[in-house]
A = this chain, B = another copy of it.
Amino acid sequence: MSKGSKKSTLSLAALGAVARRFRALADPTRLALIQELMQGERTVGALHAAVGTSQANASKQLAALAAEGVLARRREGVYAYYRIADPSIHALCELVCDSLARRHQDAWAQVAQEVGA
């Protein structure tokens, strides 16, 4: 079980940590919250209004993202301002979006080819 010997083989614990990070991003509501935060710091109220979910759910999902280190929270009086804490989030979402776009493009091309043939 000593993991460090091989060059890039991760232990089960490390795989679990990576999985939890991915799981934090594996929900449309949380992605919508993150997308809103791409434009800058926002309060819980503004976020739950923009995303269209309940205040309770927005607070819960934001807390989950903050617990995973994806977001950071700042208190200012009654307001709680959330912001993106992990700069890699941008690159992650871009990578996935590009991959999905290419996949859809390929699917279209294949359909066109089949129809044309």
Is A25 interfacial (CB 8 A cutoff)?
yes
Which secondary structure dominates chain A's binding surface? helix
Partner among B12, B88, B98 whose Cβ is within 8 Å of the Cβ of A88: B98
Min Cβ gap A19→B in Å is 5
From A104, which residue of chain B is reached at the shortest CB distance? B17
**Whole-angstrom CA separation of A28 from B38 in the bound complex:** 28
From A20, which residue of chain B is reached at the shortest CB distance? B26
8 more A-B residue pairs beyond the given contacts A8-B38, A19-B28, A88-B99, with a C-beta to C-beta distance below 8 A: A14-B97, A15-B31, A19-B31, A21-B96, A23-B26, A23-B27, A26-B26, A91-B95
A residues neighboring B (CB under 8 Å): 8-10, 12, 14-23, 25-28, 30-32, 35, 38, 69, 86, 88, 91-93, 95-100, 103
